[in-house]
Each structure stands twice: as structure tokens, then as C-alpha cells.
């Protein structure tokens, strides 16, 4: 059971406690747990339901603005029984701490060697553990399709196998591609599999590119990171045209990541989830307008979203109420601004898209 990044953020914040899936057979069990990127979820309910049982409140608990938005997503899937899954976050992802543990006893190494042997023996296409470990170790931050192609493996199968290694704390996922964890590299050394990694691919981003993307944000006032919507989309602008696949798999993914991080780090932008829960960046010139309208909007859409990495290597999302984040001059400007002025600055799409 996988979650999109926007939903993971809501789960980490405690706003999302349900999910709806079309399954021929559930992939989680009631009373069990599920480890995801933000921690361990306790699965409190897995129930087969009818379409009519999905309420507006349930859809919002699943991270959607409405039941209609939820169905727009579910109806993209093949027909299958509908399930409602109720869960709660109960702890940190144990793999985060595990992948930092580089202490390998002789017994533990033997156990891993035996586990690798079992995986290889059961594989219909021959031994793979050594091959996948070496490939990931030598190609940090390289897209999964590229790595799979290098070793003649289907992308889905390659991802599934990396996920098995990740469960043992040997690999970790990055925004683009993977890398071997400290624990994984220590094990490879014990097994004589140590491989010198290649430097991550350099993004071909110039100072002119950085200036241009910030100029776009200033000019538009509001932009979306990767979703299509009523304002410009950063990834589309960087690519030169819209595309239908994940931006992580795009040939310009490294360039996109570098420029998105540049926008996020700019003192003249704030990140929030203003449009349909999608990552949105607002330029400083419109901060008073957003603050002036914030009483009319759900707090989850206006709170400032910032990402950081902890000392333990965990990725963490920090949210702050907009009024507590913006400087005093913005608060003063917002207090003197009428709702009409605020809407005129942000654009009519705010009232239209957010069901004013």
C-alpha cells in the first residue's frame, strides 16, 4: 500500500487517517502495521464498502477536498472492490535508525548471506541480490528505469527488489533514485562487494536558469510545484511543455529538483498547499493577499510547509501557521487589505477553485 507525497505529509501531520483503495485483495490487514516513509501506521480497519458509503468527511480524512475529488482519482483505476482503510501513525520508521547501524557481527553477516541465497534461489530469472546491490552502490541518484535497463531487468521488478533490500536497512530512497545506506555499505564490505559509487549526476543548472525560475515565480505570484492547475507549473516550465508521467522519471528530473530547491530556499517565496493539497509557492508580493484571505480558507491550505533533514537522516516536514510565519509588515499590510483587493491580487481562480 503506497501513498503519494502530498498524502504522506498529511499523515505525518495527523490530518489524514483514512485511505480508499480499489483492490482485488487487500494488501494490509486489520490489526497489523504498515511501514511507510513517515513512520509506522497501525491499521485499525480494513472494510469492503459500497460507493454510497463514502462521505464528504471520509474523503477529507483521506486528504481530498471532496468526495468528487476522491472519486476522480479512484475512477482512474481498473474496476475492483472498494476498501476503506483506517489507520494512525504510531511510531517512526524503524528503517531510518537501522540503516545507520553499521555494526555487523559474524552471525548477522551469515544470516544476511543466507537471506540473499534464499532470494536468489527463488528468483525465476536467476540470482539478483549481488547485481542489484552493486548497481545501486555504483549509481547514486540515478532513475530506477535507467538502472533496471543497465542490468536487463523490468523496472517494476527492479523497484520491488530494491524495496526488499530497503526493508533490511540496506538501501534508501532519494527524490530521484536510490543510494546504499551506511549499513548496506558496511555489509557489502564484509561480503567483499564494496563498489566505489559514482558522483550523483550533476544538474545542468546555471545562474541564468536560477534567475529565470525566480523571475517566473515573481511574475506569476503563485505557482504549483508539479501539479497541473490554474497557475503555472514549475516542472512543466522547466521541461518546456506539459508531460503526463512523474517528474521524477523525466529526463530533466535532476534539473527540476535543483531549481525547485532553489525556489523553496528563496527568502522571497513560501511553500504551502493552497491548491488541492498540492505543493504551491507564493511570492513575497502576494503574502499579504494570502494572509488577508486565510480566515476564509482551511488552515491546511495556508500553513507554511518546510522540509528539513534531521541529524538521524530522517526527512521531516514542518508546518507553521501562516500568521506566525510571515513578518510583521506583512501582517500590517494584510490587516489594511480588503477581501476584494486580496482576491484581485491572487486571481479569480482562488474563489472559483476553492468554492468561495
268-305: string of b/e by CB count within 10 Å (b at 16+)? Answer: ebbbbbbbbbbbbbbbbebbbbbbbbbeebeebbbbbb
Percent of the chain at pLDDT > 70 equals 93
Q: What is the pTM of this model?
A: 0.57
Please list the pLDDT of the chain residue by residue as tens digits (356 residues).
888 877 888 898 889 999 999 999 999 999 999 988 788 999 999 999 999 999 999 999 999 989 999 999 899 888 999 999 999 999 887 888 888 999 999 999 999 999 999 999 999 989 999 999 999 998 888 888 888 888 889 989 999 999 999 999 999 988 788 999 999 999 999 998 866 555 555 567 899 999 999 999 999 999 999 888 999 999 999 999 998 877 776 888 888 988 998 999 999 999 999 988 889 999 999 999 999 999 988 888 999 998 765 544 455 678 899 999 999 999 999 999 999 999 999 988 887 766 55
Residue 311 has what pLDDT? 47
Position 93 scores a pLDDT of 79
The domain spans of the chain are 5-91, 97-191, 207-353
| 97-191, CATH topology level | Arc Repressor Mutant, subunit A (1.10.10)
Q: Which long-range contacts (CB under 8 A, 24 or more apart) does 258-267 make?
A: 258/203, 258/205, 259/205, 259/209, 259/210, 259/213, 259/234, 260/225, 260/234, 260/235, 262/205, 262/210, 262/213, 262/214, 263/213, 263/214, 263/217, 263/223, 263/234, 264/307, 266/214, 266/217
Residue 283 pairs in a beta bridge with 269
**pLDDT tens digit string along 32-91?**
999 887 889 999 999 999 999 999 999 999 999 899 999 998 998 889 999 999 999 998
Backbone φ, ψ for residue 128 (5° rounding):
-135, -20
CATH code assigned to 5-91: 2.30.130.30
Q: What integer pLDDT is reported at residue 356 of this predicted model?
A: 52
What is the spatial distance between Cα 65 and Cα 353, in angstroms, rounded to a whole number?
11
What kind and span of H or E run contains 262?
A: helix 253-265
Q: Please report which helix (H) or strand (E) contains residue 215, including its range.
A: helix 207-220
Half-sphere exposure of 199 (CA within 13 A, CB side): 3
Same fold, 5-91 and 97-191: no
Instruction: Write the DSSP assignment of 69-126 as a string of letters.
Output: HHHHHHTTSPS--EEEEEEEEEE--HHHHHTT-----HHHHHHHHHHHHHHHHH-TT-
Amino acid at each position: 500500500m503506497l501513498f503519494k507525497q502530498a498524502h504522506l505529509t498529511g499523515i505525518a501531520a495527523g490530518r489524514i487517517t483514512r485511505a480508499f483503495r480499489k483492490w482485488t485483495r487487500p494488501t494490509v490487514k486489520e490489526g497489523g502495521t504498515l511501514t511507510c516513509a513517515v513512520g509506522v501506521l497501525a491499521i485499525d480497519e480494513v472494510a469492503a464498502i459500497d460507493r454510497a458509503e463514502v462521505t464528504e468527511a471520509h474523503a477529507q480524512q483521506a486528504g481530498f477536498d471532496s468526495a468528487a475529488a476522491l472519486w476522480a482519482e479512484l475512477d482512474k483505476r481498473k474496476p475492483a472492490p472498494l476498501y476503506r482503510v483506517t489507520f494512525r501513525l504510531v511510531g517512526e520508521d524503524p528503517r531510518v535508525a537501522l540503516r545507520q547501524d553499521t555494526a555487523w557481527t559474524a552471525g548477522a553477516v551469515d544470516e544476511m548471506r543466507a537471506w540473499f541465497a534464499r532470494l536468489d534461489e527463488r528468483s525465476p530469472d536467476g540470482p539478483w541480490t549481488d547485481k542489484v546491490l552493486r548497481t545501486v552502490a555504483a549509481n547514486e541518484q540515478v532513475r530506477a528505469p535507467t538502472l533496471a535497463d543497465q542490468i536487463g531487468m523490468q523496472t517494476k521488478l527492479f523497484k520491488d527488489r530494491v524495496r526488499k533490500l530497503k526493508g533490511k536497512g540496506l538501501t534508501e530512497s532519494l527524490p530521484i533514485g536510490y543510494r546504499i545506506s551506511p549499513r548496506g555499505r558496511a555489509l557489502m564490505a564484509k561480503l567483499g562487494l564494496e563498489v566505489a559509487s559514482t558522483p550523483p549526476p550533476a544538474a545542468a543548472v546555471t545562474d541564468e536558469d536560477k534567475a529565470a525560475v525566480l523571475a517566473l515565480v515573481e511574475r506569476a505570484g503563485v505557482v504549483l510545484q508539479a501539479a497541473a492547475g490554474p497557475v503555472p507549473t514549475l516542472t512543466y516550465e522547466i521541461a518546456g511543455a506539459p508531460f503526463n508521467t512523474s517528474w521524477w522519471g523525466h529526463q530533466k528530473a535532476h534539473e527540476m529538483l535543483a531549481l525547485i530547491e532553489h525556489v523553496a530556499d528563496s527568502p522571497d517565496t513560501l511553500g504551502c498547499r493552497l491548491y488541492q493539497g498540492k505543493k504551491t509557492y507564493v511570492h513575497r508580493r502576494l503574502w499579504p493577499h494570502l494572509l488577508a484571505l486565510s480566515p476564509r480558507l482551511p488552515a491546511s491550505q495556508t500553513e507554511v510547509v518546510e522540509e528539513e533533514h534531521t541529524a538521524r537522516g530522517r526527512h521531516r516536514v514542518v508546518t507553521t501557521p501562516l500568521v506566525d510565519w510571515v513578518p510583521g509588515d506583512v501582517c500590517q499590510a494584510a490587516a489594511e487589505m480588503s477581501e476584494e483587493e486580496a482576491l484581485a491580487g491572487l486571481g479569480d481562480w482562488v474563489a472559483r477553485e476553492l468554492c468561495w
